[in-house]
A and B are shown apart, each in its own frame.
Chain A
Amino acid sequence: MGMQGNLRDMAITDLIEHNCQSRKTAQLQIQHLEHTADLFFKDGNVVHAVMGRLEGEEVIYRIINWDDGSFNLLSGVEAPAVTIQAGWSALLLEGARRFDEGSLMEDTTQSILDIQSEDSTMAPKFDEILKEMSGEITGFIACTLAGMDGINLASHTRAKTTDAEAISGQMTMLLKLVDTSVGHLGAGELEDNLTTTANAYILMRYLPGKQYYMGVAADRKTGNLGNMRLISKTYAERLAKAMPR
């Protein structure tokens, strides 16, 4: 028993996220032009991937941009090997980062990136922008750039123990609920949401287009709300400009 479909209807990132979050044991066969890739899921992660002679994480990074082709999910199929150690969200993050830097190239004659303008040179790294922003926010704790699918694109934290990916997922849920509520009430277009807690100020701000947002957390005692809102607004614009076109 499985599922079949077309990559135009469901992106590879969505397929990976869905099968990992539902903790399936399954084989995902993906066909794109003359290439076939097989991904194997177990216990909430991608544990093996193979495409021709290529195995492991590199397969994910090569196929992540495929937007045309077919897929076939075979439930219950065990992986023949374990060649991937990274968690699924880390794989998608790295894939997105490599895609942004333009370092992914298919081993076919078709180019992955469709260059449309003179400004399509490599975008500045998001994490560098976030790191720069962190230096300007009083009482900075953490910041993250994430898609509305909850996937973390980049993050910067004061403490290495802060789990930016978990934060992104949780923040995305809240932002979606707030946006839906505001929309239903006819209260206008959501710009940002600020939650004040006992320990922190947590600000979420959409980037233009509302496909991505920036989340910032600052210490409640040492942070400054006005500073946080102003700086985050400025850097949201920078992050938006850094998005690949």
Chain B
Amino acid sequence: MSKLEQLINQIRSELGADFVSTDVVGMDGLSIAGGSISPDFNATEASARFSMVMKLAERVSGKIGMGEVEDNLVTTDKAYILTRFLGNGSYYWGLAVTRNATLGSVRILMNEYAEQLWDAIPR
């Protein structure tokens, strides 16, 4: 098991029942590691779509002079979907949790694991 996959499993374990899905995705939209609780969840599509979201968020932020994007949080009636650039921005980390999750704790967890995930990406 790669270091990246180990970290993914740790993250899943820490989130417990709140975990829905996670992926480490290149800005080409392709996932390099991840997992989901649901076999019906289309991780490939999610990775591609949210890479577009992150790219557009970056462009929008640049145009309105708000600086570089760090992360994006989508709130729906079913889930929180957090996406966060890793390292130099050539990858992003996507994490979906249930609405029962404590958002503050999830953001802290992402802060803790972001650098580890970046270091674990094969380069």
A residues apposed to B, CB below 8 Å:
163, 166-167, 170-171, 173-174, 177-178, 180-182, 184-185, 187-200, 202, 217, 220
Q: Do the beta carbons of B53 and A174 come within 8 Å of each other? A: yes
Q: In the bound complex, how far is the Cα of B50 from the Cα of A165, in angstroms?
A: 26
Q: Do the beta carbons of B74 and A200 come within 8 Å of each other? A: no
Q: Is B60 an interface residue, CB under 8 A from the partner? A: yes
B residues apposed to A, CB below 8 Å:
41-42, 45-46, 49-50, 52-53, 56-57, 60-61, 63-79, 81, 96
In the complex, the chain A residue whose C-beta lies closest to that of B96 is A187
In the complex, the chain A residue whose C-beta lies closest to that of B40 is A186
Given A181-B49, A190-B74, A198-B67, 20 extra CB contacts under 8 A: A170-B63, A173-B56, A174-B57, A180-B49, A181-B50, A182-B81, A184-B49, A185-B41, A187-B74, A187-B96, A189-B76, A190-B76, A192-B75, A193-B74, A195-B69, A195-B73, A196-B72, A198-B70, A199-B66, A202-B61
Q: In the bound complex, how far is the Cα of B72 from the Cα of A174, in angstroms?
A: 11
Given A181-B49, A196-B72, verify A189-B77 contact (CB < 8 Å): yes
Q: Do the beta carbons of A195 and B64 come within 8 Å of each other? A: no
Q: In the bound complex, how far is the Cα of B70 from the Cα of A180, in angstroms?
A: 22
Q: In the bound complex, how far is the Cα of B112 from the Cα of A230, in angstroms?
A: 26
Q: Do the beta carbons of A181 and B70 come within 8 Å of each other? A: no
Q: Please report whether the interface of chain B is mostly helix, strand, loop or mixed according to DSSP.
A: mixed
Q: Do the beta carbons of B66 and A177 come within 8 Å of each other? A: no
Q: Do the beta carbons of A196 and B53 come within 8 Å of each other? A: no
Q: Do the beta carbons of B75 and A193 come within 8 Å of each other? A: yes
Q: In the bound complex, how far is the Cα of B74 from the Cα of A199, in angstroms?
A: 19
A-B contact pairs, 26 of them (CB 8 A): A166-B63, A166-B64, A171-B60, A178-B53, A181-B46, A181-B52, A181-B53, A184-B45, A184-B49, A185-B41, A187-B78, A187-B81, A188-B77, A190-B75, A192-B74, A192-B75, A193-B75, A194-B74, A194-B75, A195-B57, A195-B60, A195-B71, A196-B69, A197-B67, A200-B66, A200-B67
Given A167-B64, A174-B60, A181-B53, verify A187-B79 contact (CB < 8 Å): yes
Q: Do the beta carbons of B78 and A188 come within 8 Å of each other? A: yes
List residues of chain B with CB within 8 A of the CB of A177.
Answer: 52-53, 56
In the complex, the chain A residue whose C-beta lies closest to that of B78 is A188
Q: In the bound complex, how far is the Cα of B63 from the Cα of A220, in angstroms?
A: 17
In the complex, the chain B residue whose C-beta lies closest to that of A193 is B74
